[in-house]
Homo-oligomer: A and B are copies of this chain.
Amino acid sequence: MAETLTAALTLKDIARQAGVSLATVDRVLHNRPGVRPDTVRRVREAIERNSFQPHVAAAELARGRARRFAFVMPSGPNPFMQQIEDYLGEMSAWLSSRRLSVEMVATDVFDPSVLAGTLEGLSDDYDGIAMVALDHPGVRAAIDDLVDAGTKVVTLVSDVPSSRRHHYVGIDNIAAGRTAGALVGRLVGQKPGKVAIVAGSRGLRDHAERIFGFNQVMASEFAGLSVLPVLEGRDEDARSEQVLARLLSRHADIVGLYNVGAGTQGVATALSDAGRDKQVVFVGHDVTALTRRLLLQGVMDAAISQNPGHEARAAVRVLLALARGEPILREQEKIRIDIVMRDNLP
């Protein structure tokens, strides 16, 4: 299967073959106007015939434009978001050696008007924006305005599918919920009983979707398990602990627990304090210092995770590809739903 190794062609070669100048080939290559259809065809043929690929490094250098990207992230102390920011930080050498800059913009992503306001303010300053977005009409409008203004927009972790954002970097949350459900059900085994759900808020799209998927699987496949009403812990430890502790005291037959969002420490404390951390199958999200410890201790049984390093890099690469008008490598940028248990901790 030896590939033919023709000495790499250049624009000039194509130009010669097509009997035109460099500039014309360049115009055709970038679909710029001002070339007679017939000429276009001749050039296209020459390109095809040689399966010519322009040298990206040369193009980048000649274009010589620096690009600025912004990442709009929640302002609160969320370990998962912090990880994404850390990985962006690790890319700094990679970024600056390509004359790219990314800036962090912290805002209250849970308040639609605040978020929308933040987005409006960014309009002209950036070539591209990645954001953790709330699915709300005001936010959708702000996104569409950005897109209309020519800014490339990528939603990160939490999507706004009704908007005209160019790309979503994150997992399918319904499938994630289904995965959590299947894990809880399978790990509980035959034992009948009740299953608890702790979420941040049912108003968050990603949480709602996860719960939906979870319930779907529970209903269809684990008839022996009955799901209790969703508790809302606002992603806070104290509140999560409190609501779960109450639930545990009322139901002695809880055999499974799904923690949909953050507040993991609170959930774990409630379980331990009730002395039931080893009996209840506990599945949550994301690999953090805390969930890692809980998995090793056997308190948590599995974590559903989306690789934050991959998400950070994918968001940057997608913004860059969009800005340059290059194709996006879907396969590479797709974020998978990882199941992490004690023995495959990354």
Interface residues of A (CB under 8 A from B): 1-3, 5, 8, 51, 53-58, 60-61, 66, 68, 87, 90, 93-94, 96-99, 101-104, 106, 175-176, 178-179, 181-183, 186-187, 189-190, 213, 217, 301, 307, 309-310, 313, 329, 331-332, 334, 336-344, 346
A343 engages B55 (CB within 8 Å): no
B66 engages A343 (CB within 8 Å): no
A182 engages B342 (CB within 8 Å): yes
Q: How far is the CB of A292 from chain B (nearest CB, A)?
A: 14
Give Cα A340–Cα B309 distance, bound, in whole angstroms.
20
Give 4 closest A-B pairs by Cβ, nearest first.
A189-B189, A57-B60, A339-B339, A337-B344
Name 7 interchain pairs, CB-CB below 8 A, sorted by A: A8-B66, A51-B96, A55-B99, A176-B344, A179-B344, A186-B301, A338-B339
A58 engages B55 (CB within 8 Å): no
Known: A56-B97, A61-B61, A341-B339. A68 touches B179 (CB 8 A): no
- Nearest chain-B residue to A52 (Cβ)? B96
Known: A61-B57, A189-B190, A337-B344. A103 touches B182 (CB 8 A): no
B341 engages A90 (CB within 8 Å): no
Give Cα A217–Cα B94 distance, bound, in whole angstroms.
40
B182 engages A101 (CB within 8 Å): no
A1 engages B182 (CB within 8 Å): no
Residues of B with C-beta under 8 A to A213: 343
Residues of B with C-beta under 8 A to A106: 1
Give Cα A98–Cα B68 distance, bound, in whole angstroms.
24
Residues of B with C-beta under 8 A to A175: 343-344
Known: A189-B190, A309-B331. A341 touches B179 (CB 8 A): yes
Residues of B with C-beta under 8 A to A58: 57, 61
Give Cα A253–Cα B131 distance, bound, in whole angstroms.
54
A336 engages B344 (CB within 8 Å): yes
A103 engages B60 (CB within 8 Å): no
B179 engages A98 (CB within 8 Å): no
Give Cα A182–Cα B345 distance, bound, in whole angstroms.
13
**Supplied contacts A5-B68, A51-B96, A55-B97, 17 more A-B pairs, CB within 8 Å:** A1-B103, A3-B101, A3-B103, A8-B96, A53-B93, A55-B99, A57-B57, A176-B344, A181-B343, A182-B342, A182-B343, A183-B341, A307-B336, A336-B344, A337-B343, A337-B344, A339-B344
Residues of B with C-beta under 8 A to A309: 331-332
Q: How far is the CB of A93 from chain B (nearest CB, A)?
A: 6
Give Cα A102–Cα B217 distance, bound, in whole angstroms.
44
Residues of B with C-beta under 8 A to A51: 96
Q: Which of B66, B182, B342 contacts A341 (CB 8 A)?
A: B182
Residues of B with C-beta under 8 A to A331: 87, 90, 309
B55 engages A179 (CB within 8 Å): no
Q: How far is the CB of A344 from chain B (nearest CB, A)?
A: 4
